[in-house]
Amino acid sequence: MPKKSQAIETPRGKRERTFKGLAAAPGIAIGKAYVRFGRHIEVQEYVVAKTKIRGELKRLDAAVNVARRQITSLQERAAGMRGTTGDELVFLFDAYLAMLDDSRLVRGARSIIEEECINAEAAVQREFTALAKRFEAMKDAYIAARLDDIREVASRLIGILVRSPANEPPKTPKGGIIVAEQLSPADMAQIDPESVSAVAAALGGTEGHTAIMARALGLPAVLGAADLLVGVEQSQQIIVDGYSGKIIVNPTPATIKRFEKRQAEKQKRTRALDSLRFEPAQSRDGTIIQLMANVELPVEMENVKQSGAEGVGLLRSEFMFMNRDDIPSEDEQVAILEQIVSVMGMQSVTIRTLDIGGEKPAPALLTEIDEAAVSALGLRGIRLSLANPDTLRTQFRAILRVGVKRNVRILLPMVTTPGEVKRAKKILNEAADELMAEGIALPDPLPPVGVMIEVPGAALTADSLARASDFFAIGSNDLTMYTLAVDRANEHVAHLFNTLHPAVLRLIQFTTQAALRARIPVSICGEIAGDPRYTALLIGLGLHDLSMTASNIPIIKKRIMELDTLAATQRTQQIMEQTDSGRIAMMIDDFNTLA
């Protein structure tokens, strides 16, 4: 569990401090911290119709609840810290929580909404300004400190209320390292990997989409480093070590030298794999394994081409819906998909329909739906799409238009029943009929429709899902999360997220065998597919189609070229008889060192 920090004196009297978090994306970066706690937000004021005042008050209440959850989570982290800093933070967060309960700030904002009929964020802003004026007039140091606390709570509330995706993300100075309380997948989608060199955050786990996007963008990342809340100042020099999960603040010259050396060695090792790019992924005994790329953002496409990927095994289409208040039009979607699909030529591209929900919100789709309804167990993935059939139809139309004379497949996320597949296929057929009636060209035949197997119930009924669909893609990230009841994006339970748990492996095996029996293609596209430690196990389970972050393709290919698939299959059979994940890990590692 990330916790301890140590301090040493440098010759110049600056303290070097090491913070421990979770290694979320590999790589080492040395640069200046660009701290993004509580960023300034412009508040727009507008009139709200009398009939909508209740809705506006509900928005304020919902924001107060979100703020309460955020602060409680920060407080839990602070409680785990050693020493007085942790105690002080716990105390401070108590004060923030009290302010959310029934303070002048919240009460005042409510009255302003009711009496002046304005939007909630502007009401919070107005009430804060009024309080600030009164407090400043008192010229008392204690009161001034309280005002800072109220400012913190007010900006948090405004930030939640505004969460305006349309706002330009703050620019990070070139080479800067973003340090934040929390980074959402939507924040990651706005990062320019050319100017940012790494990210570090106090919250977040290693398997959430924030971590996945950091890996996809090639940015070293350390998440879940609780002490960061108090430990880093703007523009301080820091090192992010995404291999060990450490953040070093104010490094000494000797530390910098040591990390520069490690950085150079790692880069050399990565370059050594470049020569494999156009080699087939063929095992020692001649088995060909298909290696595909997972794509979350169009900026990754150059890297995908460089990696030698044979196609895109998973295009997470959520990015198109993030950081905006409206739903992208069909033409817009066509233009964005075209950027990705055209790079791959006639290679296969598997486009997953929207997987919004869980940690990935899309404001435009959620306006009518309560936040709780789109939790990880709520209206996520295909459920949200089926609840918004027009949005799904538009997405299908865009995919069909892009798929003409191309090799495109459609993938449905979070499926649990054949009925969901049938309903989605019906909407797809309607979209195709509409396009035909409009004289717009269609792919012939229509693209295959597959399902993600990422819910235990889907894995256990893989036989019936295989009859309803054309292919499977195993999503081991969510399959692990839902099987073990471990939130993949939560740093508190990151140590419990274990894809080697026999329950998860059995579900992967069960699914693979069901697909092989039904003679439909099956791939795996969770993070396990991009880790060479597990390559032999996956091949041994019968998976010959792996999709992963593009930059991992060369190392996986190297592992495949060293492997004998018969030996891998025999070892996997022994592994599948085990009931203890520790023993399974040992048997994998033993096999990897020998073969």
Residues serving a catalytic function are: 209, 525
Strand, coil or helix: 580:
coil
Based on CB atoms, which residue is closest to ligand PEP, 21 or 413?
Answer: 413
Residue keyed to tokens 């350390």: 222
Of Mg ion, ligand PEP, none, which one sits near residue 476, judging by CB under 5 to 8 A according to partner kind? ligand PEP
163: contact with ligand PEP by CB under 6 A: no
Please enumerate, as own/partner, the contacts of 404-408 that have beta carbons within 8 Å and a separation of 24 or more: 404/441, 404/442, 404/443, 405/443, 406/341, 406/346, 406/349, 406/443, 407/311, 407/344, 407/346, 407/347, 407/348, 407/349, 408/341, 408/348, 408/349, 408/350, 408/351, 408/443, 408/447
Residue 292: CB minimum distance to ligand PEP, A: 12
Of ligand PEP, Mg ion, none, which one sits near residue 483, judging by CB under 5 to 8 A according to partner kind? none
Q: How far is the C-alpha of 289 from the C-alpha of 43, rounded, in Å?
A: 53
Q: What are phi and psi of 36, to 5 degrees?
A: -115, 30
According to DSSP H, which parts of 223-300 are helical?
Answer: 228-231, 253-272
Residue keyed to tokens 């996956």: 538
Q: How far is the C-alpha of 223 from the C-alpha of 211, rounded, in Å?
A: 8
545: contact with ligand PEP by CB under 6 A: no
Among 241, 454, 487, 491, binds ligand PEP (CB under 6 A): 454
Q: What number of chain residues touch ligand PEP (CB under 6 A)?
A: 11
Pick the piece of the chain touching ligand PEP (CB under 6 A) from 64-72, 187-195, 323-331, 475-483: 475-483
Q: What is the length of the chain?
A: 595
Among 478, 487, 491, 527, binds Mg ion (CB under 5 A): 478
Pick the piece of the chain touching Mg ion (CB under 5 A) from 336-344, 433-441, 469-477, 572-580: 469-477
**Burial of 278 (C-beta count, 10 Å sphere; 0-12/13-18/19+):** exposed
Pick the piece of the chain touching Mg ion (CB under 5 A) from 89-97, 362-370, 389-397, 449-457: 449-457
Degrees, nearest 5: CA angle 467-471-477: 115
476: contact with ligand PEP by CB under 6 A: yes
Q: How far is the C-alpha of 383 from the C-alpha of 202, rounded, in Å?
A: 31
283: contact with ligand PEP by CB under 6 A: no
Of ligand PEP, Mg ion, none, which one sits near residue 112, judging by CB under 5 to 8 A according to partner kind? none
3-state helix/strand/coil string of 144-189 = HHHHHHHHHHHHHHHHHHHCCCCCCCCCCCCCEEEEECCCCHHHHH
* Integer angstrom CA distances of residue 227 from 27, 181, 498: 21, 10, 25
Nearest residue to 440 (alpha-carbon basis) of 398, 387, 478, 412:
398
Residue 538: CB minimum distance to ligand PEP, A: 13
Pick the piece of the chain touching ligand PEP (CB under 6 A) from 101-109, 188-196, 470-478, 507-515: 470-478
- Beta-carbon contacts of residue 472 (< 8 Å; ≥ 6 apart): 450, 451, 452, 453, 462, 465, 466, 511, 514, 515, 520, 521, 522, 523
Beta bridge partners of residue 548, listed in sequence order: 293
Pick the piece of the chain touching Mg ion (CB under 5 A) from 101-109, 232-240, 322-330, 472-480: 472-480
Q: How far is the C-alpha of 218 from the C-alpha of 212, rounded, in Å?
A: 10
487: contact with Mg ion by CB under 5 A: no
Of ligand PEP, Mg ion, none, which one sits near residue 59, judging by CB under 5 to 8 A according to partner kind? none
Helix (H) or strand (E) holding 434: helix 418-437
Residue 508: CB minimum distance to Mg ion, A: 14
The two beta strands, 246-249 and 15-20, are antiparallel
296: contact with Mg ion by CB under 5 A: no
Among 56, 181, 300, 355, binds ligand PEP (CB under 6 A): 355
Q: How far is the C-alpha of 449 from the C-alpha of 457, rounded, in Å?
A: 19
554: contact with Mg ion by CB under 5 A: no
Pick the piece of the chain touching ligand PEP (CB under 6 A) from 59-67, 276-284, 474-482, 557-565: 474-482
127: contact with ligand PEP by CB under 6 A: no
Residue 539: CB minimum distance to ligand PEP, A: 18
- Contact at 8 Å (CB) between 309 and 295? no
Reading the block at residue 55, the tokens are: 């809705």
Of Mg ion, ligand PEP, none, which one sits near residue 525, judging by CB under 5 to 8 A according to partner kind? ligand PEP
381: contact with Mg ion by CB under 5 A: no
Residue 490: CB minimum distance to ligand PEP, A: 15
Residue 353: CB minimum distance to ligand PEP, A: 12
Pick the piece of the chain touching ligand PEP (CB under 6 A) from 19-27, 144-152, 300-308, 471-479: 471-479
Q: How far is the C-alpha of 227 from the C-alpha of 235, rounded, in Å?
A: 17
Based on CB atoms, which residue is closest to Mg ion, 224 or 475?
Answer: 475
Amino acid of residue 70: Q
Residue 480: CB minimum distance to ligand PEP, A: 8
Among 300, 420, 478, 491, binds ligand PEP (CB under 6 A): 478
Residue 478: CB minimum distance to ligand PEP, A: 3
475: contact with Mg ion by CB under 5 A: yes
Q: What number of chain residues touch Mg ion (CB under 5 A)?
A: 3
Residue 448: CB minimum distance to ligand PEP, A: 18
One symbol per residue from 296 to 325: x for binding ligand PEP (CB under 6 A), - otherwise; what is it? ------------------x-x---------
Residue 296: CB minimum distance to ligand PEP, A: 8
454: contact with Mg ion by CB under 5 A: yes
- Contact at 8 Å (CB) between 525 and 311? no
* Integer angstrom CA distances of residue 22 from 82, 128, 133: 18, 37, 43
526: contact with ligand PEP by CB under 6 A: yes
Reading the block at residue 54, the tokens are: 């209740």
Pick the piece of the chain touching Mg ion (CB under 5 A) from 13-21, 307-315, 398-406, 473-481: 473-481
207: contact with Mg ion by CB under 5 A: no
Reading the block at residue 592, the tokens are: 């990897």
Residue 325: CB minimum distance to Mg ion, A: 25
Question: CB nearest ligand PEP: which residue?
Answer: 475
Interacting residues with Mg ion (CB under 5 A): 454, 475, 478
Interacting residues with ligand PEP (CB under 6 A): 212, 314, 316, 355, 454, 475-478, 525-526
